Structure 1
């Protein structure tokens, strides 16, 4: 499945899923491709699935800034907003002879949220969205840590995220 957007000048943004075997040997990613109106492609940006929300949040923050609103929150200085511990390389995977980025632990400073403090002046719906996103991210982290996608704690966090959305 792909998503495509064209601006009024004809430039295109395309978002595609990429088969795991074509990127780092085992990690599925999303590819972001831009194309100028004359058809020239620029390099593709590959986003690991665990970083997609970070990219989407960055786009939302840019949109808020463009509309004169405050960005979502200040990013954590330790992890630079990624939520991942910058000192943790992840577990070494003998099969592909590299560190597995999906096993990196949460940042010890922000506890994996990627944010320093709640933003001031956000619209009310942004707080709900941010809370739900944080709960979803926590559920994913618990499931990844335990290796059990139906872990009771992960399920509880997902229910809380759904409640935050409603």
Structure 2
């Protein structure tokens, strides 16, 4: 069933989006990611013969996937065009339910752009703190050691232990 899903997903991805990624998910299904549109489609096996559960959702910032917004069980014996029509309907439902605009692909800024951006929000440089034990910590340690020593002296010092 996985090979059939993989072949169907590859054909479907070519029809839906020019830029796409097809990969296997843990449950045995196949996911099609459209990074440029910020959406994903999943085909997962069901208990029925030649049937698949088709789910659609959006991609979050950072590349993670949001939970599916809509899903439907489809018959895989129909053609790729019919499956593409169902996928487009699901993607339209996802777009209608989504209040945020689709994630835009951004280019990494150049060094000059990053330097200019860093200059705009320049913060005063804080001195780097050392990871060694500070003076205040030593004072606390010595006080605790003195209290423990005083207690030991009062308990055992009188009797000559």
When normalised by structure 2's length, the TM-score is 0.26
- Structure ranking higher on relative contact order (CA contacts 8 Å, 6+ apart): 2
Larger radius of gyration: 2
When normalised by structure 1's length, the TM-score is 0.25
